[in-house]
Amino acid sequence: MTLYRDTGVVLRTYKLGEADRIIVLMTAEHGKVRAVAKGVRKTRSRFGGRLEPLCHLSLLMHEGRNLDVVSQVDTIDSPAPLLSDLDRLTQGLAIVEAVDQIAMDREPAPALYRMLVGALRTLETRPSPIVVPAFYWKVLASEGVQPQLDACVSCGAGEPGALLVAFDMNEGGVLCRACRRGRSVSPEALRITRMILGGQLNAALDETASPATAEVGHLATAALEHHLERKLRSVAMFERNDLPA
């Protein structure tokens, strides 16, 4: 078996047999990798606690036919700041679930890996209601499906002459009042989404929780789910609490 080193983030895990665990990782150089951690569920395992979702690791692995084998693990970033806060934990799980659905097995995607690591680090150090929706929009843009936000995708009318009031997933962008269909979008939500995709991410992250940030989150989730053609399980957990008290 070929031995190789890589860095990766644990996306999810599941049991194998009585003592082993299969680890799904988004790696820097090998894309999404599935590997076996042998004996990891035993009490005396050398690295069991490090092979959990959200862990950012340096790994030594043997390449196998169907599943690689984890040989050595060192922690790069611990998920402890996320694990200590329920809101950040559920948001982190929503991020890794999206990557798990987007990434293809064994297809290197270094940009997606960097976005994943950056989003998790931002979530740890700079919690914001915009982290997850910004990540979703950025992923969609990297997939070539960035939405049209500056003019009606149906008739081409743009602001300030036209009021853009709706977003249609099938059309891939905003619609004016005359062409409206899909879901309504407020001016504030549209402003924040434009900031995210227009090079003003840091300013967008400064937005405090509000109905507009919640709307951006719902819209980004709907757009990603439309692209994936499936629902994201983790999203419902954090969207319950995305409005201010």
Kindly indicate whether the domain formed by 3-80 is annotated with CATH number 2.60.40.150: no
Q: Is the dihedral of CA 109, 111, 114, 115 positive or negative?
A: negative
Render each residue's pLDDT in the chain as its tens digit; 245 residues: 699 999 999 999 998 888 889 999 999 999 999 999 987 777 565 666 788 999 999 999 999 888 999 999 999 999 999 999 999 999 999 999 999 999 999 999 999 999 999 999 999 999 899 999 999 999 999 999 999 999 999 999 987 768 999 999 999 999 999 999 999 999 999 999 999 999 999 999 999 999 999 999 999 999 999 999 999 988 765 555 554 43
Helix-helix angle 211-228:86-102, to 10 degrees: 30
Q: What is the pTM of this model?
A: 0.91
Locus of tokens 């910004």? 134
Q: What is the pLDDT of residue 234?
A: 82
Reported as half-sphere exposure (CB side, CA atoms, 13 A), residue 141 has a value of: 18
Domain boundaries, the chain: 3-80, 128-239
In the sheet that holds 183-184, the strands lie side by side as 173-176, 164-168, 183-184
Q: What is the pLDDT of residue 65?
A: 85
Supply 149's token pair.
């936000």
Residue 100: name the closest of 134, 49, 156, 53 by CA.
53
CB 79 within 8 A of CB 51: no
